[in-house]
Structure 1
Amino acid sequence: MRRAVGGIGASAALATVAATLLLSGCVPTPAPPPVTIVATVTATPKPTPTPTPAPAPVAPPPAPAPAPDPVPNAPAPVYEPGPAVDLGARDGANGTPSLDGSGMPISYVVVSGDHFFDIAQRFDLPQQQLLRMNPQVHDFGENVYIGDVINLDWTKTG
């Protein structure tokens, strides 16, 4: 076998190299040079506000007209549609009317089976108007009798 020169054996040399490698990590590294920071302060510019356009003035809506003062117990206006017009015989109004010289009906004689409402319908008159034209008819026209004469001439009442 061979011996290493200088009296150091191979294993001892190997141990020295290993120890040097292991201990080399324990040596402190040199500190980095100090860093100098210079801060410069500059003022932040203030933003200039943008003017908001003002909305165009809107005219208020016109005030509603005041309600008229109520009139207590004022009579309702009476609407009279006009002269009677014979629309022809129908159930509840089968009689024959009396006519004037121009052919307009002026009266009607109640026959069996007639009803006041149907008579008003036949002559194209509202029942209330026919009642005003015939004050002798009672109970809102519920009771008319055979032979009663119903006035159909709106210029004459009674």
Structure 2
Amino acid sequence: MQRSGGGAAASAPLTVAVGGALAFVLALSGCAPAPTPPPVTIIATVTATPEPEPTPTPAPVPPPVAEVPAEPAPAPVPNAPAPVVEPGPAYDLGARDGANGTPVVDGSGMPTSYTVVAGDSFFDIAQRFDLPQQQLLRMNAQVHDFGENVYIGDVINLDWTKTG
């Protein structure tokens, strides 16, 4: 019998010790209720909103009156075709790459023709004799493909008075 009494007495303090430890753990873990903050007092002040000043409306502007032209505009006149201005005679500016041959000159020293040599191009011949390529093509109807193909021995006319 002593045993059962001793066992009961021993278990009571154990229960108390566990309960005290539980309260300690709850206090440390933040589960305890937070303290209540002090009350806050709000004071509201009512201010009247000022009334806006009415803006005066501008007087209506009458719409502009369309003016009637005194006379109708003249009918457009087409332009006259632009005149074809051929630059003057050919001048030899000297041999250059693409135009190394020797020109034939007349009695006054003006070049009248040029014979194509190896390495010549129609564009360079026109540059050497200070002529636009289109004019040199008009002066030499025998040159085909806009001067792309000139051959060794071809004679190029440089006399602007003789076309053909």
Q: Which amino acid aligns with 1:111?
A: V
Q: Deviation at 1:75? A: 5.1
User: 1:69 and 1:102, CA in 2 relative to 1: closer, same or farther beyond 3 A?
Assistant: same
Matches of 2:113 and 2:75 in 1, distance apart?
45
Paired position in structure 2 for 1:70: 78
User: Is it true that 1:127 corresponds to 2:145 in the alignment?
Assistant: no
- Between structure 1 and structure 2, the one with the greater Rg is 1
- The offset of 1:70, in angstroms, is 2.1
1:136 and 2:121 aligned = no
Q: CA RMSD in A?
A: 2.0
Deviations 1:4-23 (A, max 9, x none): xxxxxxxxxxxxxxxxxxxx
Deviations 1:42-80 (A, max 9, x none): xxxxxxxxxxxxxxxxxxxxxxx9685226xx7542111
2 CA distance for matches of 1:103 and 1:124? 15
**TM-score, structure 2 normalization:** 0.52
Amino acid at match of 2:134: Q
Structure 1 stretches (4+) deviating beyond 3 angstroms? 65-68
> What is the TM-score when the length of structure 1 is the normalising length?
0.54
Change (3 A) 1:68 1:150: farther
Residue 79 (1) aligns with residue 98 (2): no
Q: 1:105 aligns with which of 103, 108, 111?
A: 111
Deviation at 1:86, TM superposition (A): 0.1
Instruction: Determine whether 1:96 maps to 2:135.
Output: no
Change (3 A) 1:97 1:75: same
Matched residue, 1:20: none
Alpha-carbon distance, 1:139 to partner:
0.6
Q: Which consecutive unaligned segments of at least 5 residues does structure 2 have?
A: 1-72
| Distance (Å, rounded) in 2 between the aligned partners of 1:89 and 1:125 | 15
Unaligned runs of 5+ in 1: 1-64
- Equivalent residue, structure 2, for 1:114: 120
Query: C-alpha separation between the residues in 2 aligned to 1:103 and 1:129?
Result: 21
Q: Provide the identity percentage.
A: 88
Find the counterpart in structure 2 of residue 157 from structure 1.
Answer: 163
Tell me how many residue pairs correspond in the alignment. 92
Structure 1 residues 123, 68: CA separation in 2 closer, same or farther (over 3 Å shift)?
A: farther
